[in-house]
C-alpha cells in the first residue's frame, strides 16, 4: 500500500524575487498553518520553493479541503516520503504502479538536490524500467493516464501520483489593505474573496440604518464577514450609522436622486475610513448594469467624490457567475436570507440611471452633509469577525 504521509505544496505566481519572494513565502507559510490550526499533530517545514506538512495520521480529506482554500498555493500533492536513495525511490514508484488501474504512465522527476548522484533523466529511466519489468503498464510520454512524480530533496524524496489544483493568487495579506464596502447581499462577500485572492488584506465598512434596518441585518453582515475571514485570518467590520444622513438625503432630494446621493455619501465615508485605518483603496461588489446605480454614468458620478482607487473585482462578471462563486465560498445561503438592507428600505421607485455630477452637487449644496458625515465617522463602531461564527444566532 502506498502510504501518503506528507503533503507537498507548490507556490503560484512566484515570478517575484528578493524581499517580495521572502514575504510571499513567509505569509503563505503562516496562512497555511493558520488554515490548518485546528488539526493536531501536523509538522510544517519549508524550503525555498516548497512547503511540506507531515501528516502524522491526520485526516487527508479535511486537509485537502482546507488547503484548496489557501491563496498562493498553485498545487499540492499527498506524497509518500522515502529516503533519498534510488532503491527506496524505485520501490515506492513500483508500488504506486502496482496499485493503479491505469494502463499507461510517465515518470516526472525533479531533482532539487543537485548533489544527488543521479540526474532526473536517470531516475526516470531506472524507475520506469522497474515498472515495465514488474507490471503490464506501458510508457506514454504524451498523454499518460498515470503520472508518477518524484521530488528529490537532500535527505528526503517525495513521491506521488496526484497533483491537486490550489486556489492560486497571492497569499492573503501581502499586497496592502483595502476597505471593502460590505452589504448583506450576494456580491460584496464575493468581492471580498476576490480581493483577498490577489493578496490584499480586507477590512470592511458597513452602512446600517437603525431602526429601519434590524439587528438581524447587521448580524447577517457580520456572519458573512466571518465566513470570508477564513481566507485571511480575521476581518474588522466598521459599522457606520447611516440613518441621519439617509433621512437628510431623502428630505432634500427624494426620488430619483436619492440613491445617487446615498452612494456618493457612502463613498465619502469609505474614503474617510480608509484614511483612519490606513487602507489604500476602496473595494465594492459593483457589477456593470446590475442595478440603476451601476450604469457607467452612475459609477462615474459616484466615483467622482473620492480621490483614492476603487477596486471592483466583479465589475464585468455576470450575476450567475457571481452566484456560483458565492456558492463555492459558502456565503450564498446567508446572503439570500431576507433581511432588509438600508438601500432596500429607502429604495426609490424611479432611481435615475444617468445622474450628473452637477445635479448631485446642486442637491448636496442644500444640506449640511459634512457635519453628518463627520459625526458618522466619529461614531463608527468596529467589530472584529473571525472564522467559525455561525448564523444560528438570529434564525
Q: Confirm or reject binding of residue 285 to ligand ATP (CB under 6 A).
A: yes
- Candidate ranges 61-69, 159-167, 284-292, 372-380; the one touching ligand ATP (CB under 6 A): 284-292
Return all residues near 223 (Cβ < 8 A) that are at least 6 apart. Answer: 334, 385, 389, 390, 391
Cα–Cα distance measured from residue 166 to residue 168, given in angstroms and rounded to the nearest whole number: 6
- Candidate ranges 55-63, 74-82, 175-183, 234-242; the one touching Mg ion (CB under 5 A): 175-183
- Nearest distance from C-beta of residue 372 to ligand ATP, angstroms: 16
189 with 182: CB under 8 angstroms?
Answer: yes
Buried b (16+ CB within 10 A) or exposed e, 211-227: ebbeeebbbbbbbbbbb
Nearer Cβ to ligand ATP, position 126 or 188?
A: 188
- Nearest distance from C-beta of residue 168 to ligand ATP, angstroms: 23
Q: Confirm or reject binding of residue 187 to ligand ATP (CB under 6 A).
A: yes
Residues in binding contact with Mg ion, number by CB under 5 A: 2
- What character string, x for contact with Mg ion (CB under 5 A) and - otherwise, covers 177-216? ------x-x-------------------------------
- Return the residue of 55, 67, 181, 265 that touches ligand ATP, per CB under 6 A: 181
Buried b (16+ CB within 10 A) or exposed e, 56-87: eebeeeebeebbebbbbbbbbbbbbbbebebe
Strands 146-152 and 177-181: unpaired
Q: Confirm or reject binding of residue 203 to ligand ATP (CB under 6 A).
A: no
- Nearest distance from C-beta of residue 186 to ligand ATP, angstroms: 4
Strand partners, 8: 52, 77
Q: Rounded to an integer, what is the distance from CA 281 to the centroid of its chain?
A: 17
- Nearest distance from C-beta of residue 139 to ligand ATP, angstroms: 52
- Nearest distance from C-beta of residue 269 to ligand ATP, angstroms: 9
Q: Confirm or reject binding of residue 303 to ligand ATP (CB under 6 A).
A: no
Q: Rounded to an integer, what is the distance from CA 110 to the centroid of its chain?
A: 30
Nearer Cβ to ligand ATP, position 27 or 264?
A: 264
Q: Confirm or reject binding of residue 223 to ligand ATP (CB under 6 A).
A: no
25 with 39: CB under 8 angstroms?
Answer: no
Residues that bind ligand ATP (CB under 6 A): 181-183, 185-188, 206-207, 284-286, 290-291, 293-294, 341-343
Amino acid at each position: 500500500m502506498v502510504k501518503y504521509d506528507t503533503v507537498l505544496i507548490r507556490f503560484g505566481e512566484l515570478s517575484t524575487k528578493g524581499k517580495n519572494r521572502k514575504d510571499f513565502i513567509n505569509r503563505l507559510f503562516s496562512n497555511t498553518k493558520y488554515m490548518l490550526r485546528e488539526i493536531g499533530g501536523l509538522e510544517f517545514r519549508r524550503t525555498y520553493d516548497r512547503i511540506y506538512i507531515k501528516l502524522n495520521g491526520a485526516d487527508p480529506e479535511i486537509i485537502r479541503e482546507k488547503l484548496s482554500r489557501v491563496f498562493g498555493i498553485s498545487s499540492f500533492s499527498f506524497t509518500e516520503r522515502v529516503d533519498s536513495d534510488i532503491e527506496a525511490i524505485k520501490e515506492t514508484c513500483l508500488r504506486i504502479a502496482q496499485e493503479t488501474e491505469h494502463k499507461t504512465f510517465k515518470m516526472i522527476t525533479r531533482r532539487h538536490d543537485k548533489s544527488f548522484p543521479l540526474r532526473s533523466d536517470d531516475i526516470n529511466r531506472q524507475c520506469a524500467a522497474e515498472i515495465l519489468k514488474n507490471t503490464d503498464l506501458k510508457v506514454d510520454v504524451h498523454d499518460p493516464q498515470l503520472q508518477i512524480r518524484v521530488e528529490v530533496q537532500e535527505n528526503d524524496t517525495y513521491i506521488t501520483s496526484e497533483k491537486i489544483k490550489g486556489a492560486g493568487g497571492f497569499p492573503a495579506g501581502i499586497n496592502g489593505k483595502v476597505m471593502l464596502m460590505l452589504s448583506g447581499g450576494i456580491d460584496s462577500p464575493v468581492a471580498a474573496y476576490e480581493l483577498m485572492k490577489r493578496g490584499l488584506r480586507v477590512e470592511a465598512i458597513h452602512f446600517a440604518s437603525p431602526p429601519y434596518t434590524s439587528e438581524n441585518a447587521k448580524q447577517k453582515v457580520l456572519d458573512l464577514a466571518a465566513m470570508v475571514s477564513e481566507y485571511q485570518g480575521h476581518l474588522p467590520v466598521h459599522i457606520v450609522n447611516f440613518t441621519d444622513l439617509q433621512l437628510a438625503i431623502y428630505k432634500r432630494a427624494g426620488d430619483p436622486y436619492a440613491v445617487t446621493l446615498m452612494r456618493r455619501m457612502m463613498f465619502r465615508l469609505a474614503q474617510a475610513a480608509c484614511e483612519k485605518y490606513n487602507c489604500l483603496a476602496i473595494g465594492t461588489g459593483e457589477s456593470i448594469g446590475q442595478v440603476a446605480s451601476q450604469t457607467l454614468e452612475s459609477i462615474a458620478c459616484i466615483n467622482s467624490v473620492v480621490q483614492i482607487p476603487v477596486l471592483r473585482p466583479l465589475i464585468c462578471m455576470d450575476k450567475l457567475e457571481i452566484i456560483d462563486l458565492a456558492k463555492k465560498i459558502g456565503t450564498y445561503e446567508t446572503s439570500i436570507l431576507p433581511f432588509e438592507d438600508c438601500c432596500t428600505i429607502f429604495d426609490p421607485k424611479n432611481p435615475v440611471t444617468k445622474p450628473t455630477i452637477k445635479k448631485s452637487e446642486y442637491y448636496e449644496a442644500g444640506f449640511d452633509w459634512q457635519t453628518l458625515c463627520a459625526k458618522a465617522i466619529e461614531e463608527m463602531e468596529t467589530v472584529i469577525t473571525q472564522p467559525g461564527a455561525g448564523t444560528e444566532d438570529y434564525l
